Amino acid sequence: MHNAPLLPDVFIMIMTIIIWLSDIITGKKGQGLTYVATVTSALISSFWYAVVTIDPYVYHYFYDMYVVDPFSSLMKLFISLGFAVSLIYSRQYIKERNLSGGDFYLLALFSLLGQLVMVSGNNFLTLYLGLELTSLSLYALIALRRNMPQSTEAAIKYCVLGALSSGFLLYGISMIYGETGSFNLNNVSAVITSGSVNHTALLFGVVFIVTSISFKIGIVPFHMWVPDVYSGAPTAITLLVGGIAKVSVFAWVLRFLMVGLLPLAVDWQMMLAILAALSLIVGNIAGIVQHNVKRMLAYSAISNMGFLMLGLISGVIDGKASNIVNSYGSAVFYSITYMLPTLGAFGVIILLARYNFEADTLDDFKGLNKRSRLFAFVMLSIMLSLAGIPPAVGFYAKFAVLQAAINANLTWLAVLAVIASLSGAFYYLRIIKLMYFNEPVDKTPIVSYVASRVILICNGFIVLLLGVFPGPLMSSCLWAVRQTLSFNGSSCG
């Protein structure tokens, strides 16, 4: 059935409408039902995407504006699964802060729907529509707690800079469209390859697009919103912004560059290489001086996005796409394995928090091992992964993108990444030291739902398991990228 691969996306859209109507009818009495329906919908769709991912073919819908291929299905699998995990972690937190109304779940679902569109967009208009649906939903979520001035401030900053970023994106798209005469990514790539366009005009368009991409993904020097949004938003919403949203934005960026602008790779790779170097330096140095754990994780995200860029800028070497599958596949693997410890880190912060108390400072992690050996061990595995220390999966992920950079003759950037990573390991190891070698400042018993504890245990275990057995996931990422590139007519080397 030709339309079968599209059904999981349609299912999420239909469930969003059903949950919306149900919330209108039931009101506050149906908040529990809304939560269960939202999480269940995300879990069902994730299993559905797992089945669709196996299909090696590429399907085009709506006049080639929407595409379902192994790459999009793989990313949607982890995005929807991460969405469900985020809501399970956040259940107690949002309930204690009166955020568990239908508006929270509906905005979250709309952001998920936007991310699904982002990943499958095959047209500049579709990509922009998905991006804005996601962004507008997240702006509203961040400002949802009206009695917190810092949340409102974070939402305003995010909205203003997001609007500026969207302006850059639209201007860049208009320049690309003016030269190629098409919004379709495949057509744009074909026209650029033909050499019948003005390269200078295209280069200006690429500059604006790369600037917008830098804003959206949060790399230096367009990173100023990241620490403020991470620390100002309620932690449950920070989890949505810093977890699955990062993966979806990366998939959006990769779709944009890998399918539409691959013939201009030499130009945008040079730009992103400079931004990656700056992100590695600033993210790791600034993270050392942070005392708020959420701000520390924000600068960790900036440095990790710098690492992620290593995979993106290593695909085309001297005009040849000989390294493209390994480099882009490594970047996809890195994005997924970065999401997993990020979910766990914010999950621990959420579970340590309680009514009118945010466990987001370094002091809150002192002596955690004496309060809860389980939470301390999970946080240990997460910090090891983010620092890139074996046996956690972060080590293999960093090694894969470093290898891709070296193969692309970017040894100087790989060396810089290693040095920056070593200096940044300080603030990850500092949390481990506080948990295991300091006396607890807060001795309040930790209360959490059974579902949250079980998912948190699984999260920490998967981070370690993938570090020992990364092969199946890496092979899936490489296969998905190879299939997508082959159907789009790109050279896979």
- 224-280 pLDDT, tens digit each: 888 989 988 888 899 988 888 889 999 999 988 888 888 888 888 888 999 999 999
Does residue 492 lie within any of the structural domains? no
CA distance 105 to 21: 12
So what's the pLDDT on residue 478?
92
Residue position matching structure tokens 């936007």? 114
Q: What percent of the chain has pLDDT over 90?
A: 39
Confidence (pTM): 0.93
Residues 236, 92: contact at Cβ < 8 Å?
A: no
Does residue 477 lie within any of the structural domains? yes
| Token pair listed for 58 | 């590429």
Question: Binning pLDDT at 50, 70 and 90, where does residue 97 land?
Answer: confident
Does residue 464 lie within any of the structural domains? yes
Tell me the pLDDT tens digit for each residue of 433-474: 999 998 887 777 777 778 888 899 999 999 999 999 999 999
So what's the pLDDT on residue 351?
86
Q: Using CA atoms of 15, 16, 21, 27 in order, give the dihedral in degrees to the nearest 10.
A: 110
Task: Output the average pLDDT for the chain.
Answer: 87
φ and ψ at 78, to 5 degrees?
-75, -30
In the chain, the N- to C-terminal Cα span, in Å, equals 32
Kindly give, in sequence order, each residue whose CB lies less than 8 Å from that of residue 117, ignoring residues fewer than 6 positions away: 9, 66, 126, 129, 130, 133
So what's the pLDDT on residue 409?
86
Does residue 268 lie within any of the structural domains? yes
Residues 126, 66: contact at Cβ < 8 Å?
A: yes
Does residue 72 lie within any of the structural domains? yes
Q: What's the chain's Rg over C-alpha atoms?
A: 21
So what's the pLDDT on residue 491?
38
Residues 104, 126: contact at Cβ < 8 Å?
A: no
Residues 302, 218: contact at Cβ < 8 Å?
A: yes
Does residue 255 lie within any of the structural domains? yes
Tell me the pLDDT tens digit for each residue of 79-90: 999 999 999 998
Does residue 493 lie within any of the structural domains? no
Does residue 355 lie within any of the structural domains? yes
Residue position matching structure tokens 């621990």? 348
CA distance 226 to 214: 12
Residues 265, 191: contact at Cβ < 8 Å?
A: no
For 143-184, where are the alpha helices, taking DSSP H only?
149-180
The bridge status of strand 66-68 relative to strand 59-61 is antiparallel
Range of the domain at 130: 4-487
Question: Binning pLDDT at 50, 70 and 90, where does residue 492 land?
Answer: very low
Number of domains forming the structure of the chain: 1
